[in-house]
Amino acid sequence: MLLVLDIGNSNIVMGAYEGKKLLRHWRISTDRQKTGDEYGILFNELFRYQGIEMSDIKAIIISSVVPPLVVPLRKMCERYFRIRPLIVGPGIRTGIRLNYENPRAIGADRIVNVIGAHEQYGGPLIVIDIGTATTFDIVAENGDFLGGVIAPGLGSSAEALFQRAAQLPRIELVPPKTVVCRSTIQGMQAGIIYGYVGQIDEIVRRIKAELAMEMKVVATGGFARMVAKESQTIDKVDHFLTLTGLRVLYERNQA
């Protein structure tokens, strides 16, 4: 059984694969203060709750955009699973070309998303990951990474408004029924969510116009489903896109 770990700024998403089949998946909060032992105990409890033993895991691959957690989680894998994990980073075989000024500066999650999206849907594609930051990654027909866009995330934008405006409250991110609102909370929800959807749709339109091609648009991330319901450009939501990419990347590095 293969364990894939995607360490994001807000959440750690995990999946257990038997071959190409995703058997189990979990999502926990990213905690930079936790030690490798604490994560080991937490993983053990999650696994046992769903009928998996740590000894069932034969290989592990980790993608991280939180550098301080790489070493604790690597040590956790070695101590609790008796496995040295494969870490997504410089030197790993991706099987694609990275059309970027400094390929080492590309977030591991973006590379994994590109690989997973091309595996699932072919190309050309625009992959939108709606997380702490929102990334737009362009995938060529042959799977190569052509570049992209980085924007503030939906949650980050809402938190910034709460932090910087003394009289505005922290709000739940759900779309109101109308754009014209008669309460402060609904007005904030309308401005943040519909403004964010407009940003996504406009960036997608500009990408398509600049590259002069029609592309399928796939979204992933915690807010993807909500945003896709309001968007005019998102074609597909895939919450397991990153996990798929990690599985494919592991397979490419076993050849």
Residue 201 is labelled as binding a ligand: no
Flag whether 109 is marked binding.
Answer: yes
Backbone angles phi, psi at 234, to 5 degrees: -80, 125
96 marked as binding residue: no
129 is in an annotated binding site: yes
In contact, 245 and 117? CB cutoff 8 Å: yes
Residue 107 marked ligand-binding: yes
Q: Known catalytic residues? A: 109
Which secondary-structure segment (H or E) carries 244? helix 241-252
Regarding beta strands 86-87 and 125-130, do their DSSP bridges make them parallel or antiparallel, or are they unpaired?
Answer: unpaired
- Is 102 annotated as contributing to ligand binding? no
> What is the DSSP secondary-structure string of 52-113?
--GGG--EEEEEES-GGGHHHHHHHIIIII---PEEPSTT---SS-B-SS-GGGS-HHHHHH
**Residue 48 among known ligand-binding residues:** no
Q: Is 35 annotated as a binding residue?
A: no
- The response to whether 36 counts as a known ligand-binding position is no
* Residues 6+ away with beta carbon under 8 Å from 3: 14, 15, 16, 17, 57, 59, 60, 61, 81
Report the binding-site residues.
6-13, 100, 107-110, 129, 132, 184
Report the binding-site residues for K(+).
129
Report the binding-site residues for substrate.
100, 107-110, 184
Report the binding-site residues for ATP.
6-13, 132
